[in-house]
Amino acid sequence: MAQAAGGFKVSFFTDNIQGTMVVLLMVIGVITVGTESNIDRRRIDQSGWLEPSLVGWHLVYILPVAIVTNNFFLSHFWMRTFGKSRSKALESDRRRLLNADKSAASKTDKDLWIGVSIASVAVACILTLVGVSGLIAGWSGVYEFGSEEGYLSLFLLLGQLPAWVVGIVLVLVVSLSTAAFDSLQSAMVSTGSNDIFRNKLNLWIIRACVVVIIFPVVVVALKSPDILQIYLISDLVSASLIPVLFVGLWERAYFWRGFEVVVGSLGGILTVFIFGTIYYGNAEQGSKLIILEGGLYTSDWGAFGAFVAAPVGGFLWAIGALVLRLFIQWTMARVKGRRFDALDKPVERSDSTPEFASEYAAGDGVPANGDVKPTSSEGKFF
């Protein structure tokens, strides 16, 4: 209800509180685990976790690629980065244009760099502490080697702590989950309203639709045999899409268009299938590699090859699509007797103000007729 009534501003306010609670979780967890856990040094050698392994070296590449590209794939990160207009004259317009769900995030590039730097250090510390908990669980005997409950190592470790500590940790963990969930809800509302319905549908209808969608999402999460596999599928999709998409953000790649992005992203997935078919020797295993049915912790090169094939194959398909598009446009220009302009650099505007800024009154940033008009400068798909 709070999210529906207040939108993204409420999310920012609650995230500040939940961020503080996460810090408390880390402090309480580190102190109690450090004082209550007894590490058996003999189990350190028995585990072999400090020895180099093929899976370990694979993950050195897979995890950064999967996590970084997937974060770029999530809209709520973009909302937090670019939600705040830098021009006060356009602040009212952007708030209306983005349906009040993309509000203040970073006012300047300096603020953005400071925020990202602080968040990076904090996240690195949290991930290190959570990751080390698996080692402590195994070496202290809480987790038995070879068990399939390795993903529960943190909670197995916390289960050995005093009851009052477990209670506090559960409250803080729920707060951490809601901190991510409400941001995803805001992103879904803004994406549906601004990108899908182009602000032509009432905001409350969009929010109601998001609430309805949440129920099957929860069911899928509860019924899924391995929720990690769902994340891996989205990681593989983002690894195919994000690299070719980011080429279009490069100023010198002004000739890059949506056609290359679509073909490249789909081609990256197809390349994973081709790699799997060749590597395993049959198409069935190649199709299973697309959904990473075997997971990440395998003794072969399948998962590693998939995360290499996705971005590399995506680039190759995108370059092929670029050549094909330019050839078609060149042929059409020759047939119709007009100049070939597909590689012409776009004309840069003299000011950095959006085209519709001049329509706004200096006082409130709203057009005289009350209509909000987005920029008419749109990119070309083909």
Q: Which one is predicted more confidently, 180 or 361?
A: 180
Helix (H) or strand (E) holding 276: helix 258-280
CB 252, CB 284: distance < 8 Å: no
Q: In this model, does residue 50 exceed pLDDT 80? A: yes
What is the average pLDDT across 161-185? 77
Block residue for tokens 């001049």? 358
pLDDT at 238: 93
Q: In this model, does residue 56 exceed pLDDT 70? A: yes
Q: Report the distance separating Cα 283 and Cα 108, nearest Å.
A: 50
Cβ contacts of 312 within 8 Å, gap of 6 or more: 271
Q: Which one is predicted more confidently, 174 or 197?
A: 197
CB crowding 175-210: b at 16 or more within 10 Å, else e: bbebbeebbbbbbbbbbbbbeebebeeebeebbebb
What are φ and ψ of residue 291, in 5° steps? -100, 10
Q: What is the pLDDT of residues 61-82, one digit of tens each?
A: 999 999 899 888 777 677 666 6
Q: Report the distance separating Cα 143 and Cα 147, nearest Å.
A: 7
pLDDT at 350: 55
Question: The pTM is what?
Answer: 0.74
Q: Report the distance separating Cα 106 and Cα 182, nearest Å.
A: 19
Q: What is the pLDDT of residues 86-105, one digit of tens each?
A: 333 333 333 333 333 333 45
Q: In this model, does residue 326 exceed pLDDT 70? A: yes
- Among 12-21, 52-61, 356-365, the range scoring the smallest mean pLDDT is 356-365
Q: In this model, does residue 40 exceed pLDDT 80? A: yes
What is the average pLDDT across 130-135? 85
pLDDT at 207: 84
Q: In this model, does residue 368 exceed pLDDT 90? A: no
CB 348, CB 354: distance < 8 Å: no
Band (pLDDT 50/70/90 cuts) for residue 327 is very high
Q: Report the distance separating Cα 306 and Cα 285, nearest Å.
A: 12
Q: Which of 113, 66, 88 is nearest to 232 (CA)?
A: 66
Band (pLDDT 50/70/90 cuts) for residue 225 is low
DSSP state of 356: G
Q: What is the pLDDT of residues 21-30, one digit of tens each?
A: 778 877 887 8
Q: Which of 173, 379, 351 is nearest to 261 (CA)?
A: 379
Q: What is the pLDDT of residues 3-15, one digit of tens each?
A: 555 556 666 677 7
pLDDT at 363: 40
- Among 169-173, 247-251, 281-285, the range scoring the smallest mean pLDDT is 169-173
